[in-house]
């Protein structure tokens, strides 16, 4: 019986010794290390190159700058007449313009066929004190009746048979 007690005691000792002892470690303490800048390891060398003196002399320019001349305009007052007209049957464009000028007096007129069937005429005069225009219309304005070309139609979806 004493052998059984000794074996039981040995098993108990082995069972208790088999566990790793539990130690609670202390939390780590982080302290920044002081920073010391390293000494520079590179030292700039003294320049060994010296620029040579130029062996040439700046030449004198071989050209001369052009002389600037102001344009001279005549001191006479302007005087002109012009007119033009366009009548294109294919596009329907029909317009014209005429103008005459003698010094500060300018007068003229222009006409244009408007899309509504009327003819617009503008007669203008400028005596040097401002533009004065007289606008007139010839004919009656015609607007065609609106007829929509799109006619919506409803077509129900074809029946779906299973």
Looking at residue 82, its pLDDT comes to: 94
Distances (CA, A) of 9 to 4, 6, 59: 9, 5, 116
Give the model confidence (pLDDT) of 27-37 as tens digits. 888 888 888 88
Looking at residue 18, its pLDDT comes to: 63
Cβ neighbours for 124, distance < 8 A, ≥ 6 positions apart: 106, 107, 108, 109, 131, 132, 133, 134
What is the rounded CA–CA span in Å between residue 39 and residue 155?
A: 91
Backbone phi, psi, residue 2, to 5°: -65, -30
**How many Cβ atoms sit within 10 Å of the Cβ of residue 65?**
6
- Proportion of the chain above pLDDT 90, given as a percent: 30
Give the model confidence (pLDDT) of 55-95 as tens digits. 777 888 787 778 888 888 778 888 999 999 999 989 888 99
Looking at residue 40, its pLDDT comes to: 79
Q: Which residue has the tokens 């004198």?
A: 60
What is the rounded CA–CA span in Å between residue 85 and residue 94?
A: 8
Farthest-apart Cα atoms in the chain, separation: 152
Give the model confidence (pLDDT) of 108-129 as tens digits. 999 999 988 899 999 999 988 8
Q: What predicted TM-score, i.e. pTM, was given to this entire model? A: 0.46
When the pLDDT of each residue in the chain is averaged and rounded to a whole number, the result is 85
The band of 19, judged by pLDDT with boundaries at 50, 70 and 90, is low
> Which of 28-42, 94-108, 146-160 has the highest average model confidence (pLDDT)?
94-108
The band of 137, judged by pLDDT with boundaries at 50, 70 and 90, is very high
């Amino acid at each position: 019986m004493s052998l059984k007690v000794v074996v039981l005691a040995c098993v108990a000792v082995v069972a208790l010794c088999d566990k790793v002892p539990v130690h609670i470690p202390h939390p780590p303490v982080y302290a920044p290390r002081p920073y010391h800048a390293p000494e520079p390891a590179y030292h700039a060398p003294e320049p060994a190159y010296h620029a040579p003196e130029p062996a040439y002399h700046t030449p004198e320019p071989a050209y001369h700058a052009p002389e600037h001349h102001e344009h001279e305009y005549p001191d006479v007052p302007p005087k002109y007449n012009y007119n033009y007209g366009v009548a294109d049957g294919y596009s329907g464009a029909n317009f014209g313009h005429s103008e005459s000028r003698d010094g500060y007096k300018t007068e003229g007129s222009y006409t244009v066929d408007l899309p509504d069937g009327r003819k617009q005429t503008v007669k203008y005069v400028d005596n040097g004190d401002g533009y004065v225009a007289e606008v007139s219309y010839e004919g009656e304005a015609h607007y065609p009746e609106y007829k929509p070309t799109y006619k919506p139609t409803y077509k129900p979806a074809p029946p779906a048979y299973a």
